[in-house]
Amino acid sequence: MDFLFEPWPWYMAGTFIAIIMFSLIYFGENFGLSNNLRTICSAIGGGKYSDFFKIDWKKQKWNLILIIGTIIGGFLASTFLNNQQPIQLNPKTISSLQDLGFQEPGKHYLPHELFNISSHFSFKKLFILIMSGFFVGFGARYAGGCTSGHAISGLSHLQVPSLIAVIGFFIGGLIMTHIFIPIIF
Amino acid sequence: MQYLKFLILGLLLGIVMTKAEIISWFRIYEMFRFESFHMYGVIGTAIILGIILMQFTLKKQIRDITGKPIIIHSKNMSISRYLIGGIIFGLGWALSGACPGPMFILLGTGYSSVLLVILGAILGTFVYGIMRNKLPH
């Protein structure tokens, strides 16, 4: 049972994700997690401001339940299946992060330099966290999907638009990682 | 009870994404620096297995649980929409280290600050909804 506590290998994760995607299709739905953001906008009254949110959001209830499941899954895995070992990152990744001033890269899931705002508050962190989320939400809806909808489902369905979107994800990601992150931190 | 299956699938997804470290900001940073095969392995395995499952399903004309035949809905073709939207998404993904699934899973692992990322994502979706008629699609 030791393997449960070790980090799980990529082929296991990829296999599970494909099975989950296929199960959703079998249940008559689709794998697309960013749709939840639109559902939330619609549920809190976004329809008053844009027809884009005038949807029968209750039809997306299954997706909100799915996301609640993932939150519980994250809690269970990090609480009961955690061996407290740092993430085995490439030493080159670690040294590049240390050069940018990040302490202990890989010790936690997230860098505390950005995500620990309770003990080390700054408006810069607050701004970065909200803005990065804003780009994710805006971009996902503009492109009509995110990693689950385009990269996993779309490419599995051999959709050219999804390939274009994934190329876009990488252009944006590479610009952020190689140009902006060294400037921001 | 009809929703129980989705709760279980979500539970499984949350555990897998946490255990395989897909929710980690560091893994995304490492991926965009091409310094690890891990994330490419995860996404690649899911896509290849997904293609096999879908092709098998289409060939055998398998029906879903409601009895409807499973078909692929083709997405409308456009370059600007997918490319520009994709680039904006990628900028946010690399900075926050979280796409719309992991940002919720991270809440479960105890990072309350990701609520700000989620809030930003809802706001971004909302602003897109208001602006969409002015954007090239």
Average pLDDT of chain A is 96
Determine the average pLDDT of the residues in A12-24: 98
Where does chain B have alpha helices with state H? 4-19, 25-32, 38-59, 80-96, 102-108, 114-131
Which structure tokens are listed for B88? 């904006």
pLDDT tens digits for range B48-87: 999 999 999 999 999 999 999 999 889 999 999 999 999 9
pLDDT (mean) for A142-165: 96
Which chain A residues are Cβ-neighbours of B79 within 8 angstroms?
164
Instruction: Please check whether residue A61 is in contact with residue B3, taking contact to mean a CB–CB distance below 8 angstroms.
Output: yes
Answer whether A133 sits within 8 Å of B110, measured CB to CB.
no
Q: Evaluate if residue A166 carries a pLDDT over 90.
A: yes
ipTM more than 0.95? yes
User: Is pLDDT above 80 for A103?
Assistant: yes
When pLDDT is averaged across residues A83-109 and rounded to a whole number, the result is: 95
**Across A89-106, average pLDDT:** 96
- Identify whether the C-beta of residue A37 lies closer than 8 Å to the C-beta of residue B125: yes
Average pLDDT over residues B78-104: 97
Q: CB–CB of B37 and A10 under 8 A? A: yes
Cα-Cα end-to-end distance for chain A: 41
Could you list the beta-strand ranges (E) of A84-155.
none
Among A17, A83, A131, the strongest candidate for a mutation testing the B interface, having the largest count of B CBs within 10 A, is A17
> Who's near B76: CB < 8 A, 6+ residues apart?
A161
Looking at residue A64, what is its pLDDT?
A: 98
Model pLDDT, residue B73: 87
Whether the per-residue pLDDT at B1 is higher than 80: the answer is no
Of the pLDDT bands very low, low, confident and very high (cuts 50, 70, 90), residue B30 is: very high
Q: Is the pLDDT of residue A55 over 80?
A: yes
A37 to B84: CB separation less than 8 angstroms, yes or no: no
Cα angle at B91 between B85 and B97, to 5 degrees? Answer: 120
Give the pTM: 0.97
Q: Write down the pLDDT at residue B57.
A: 95
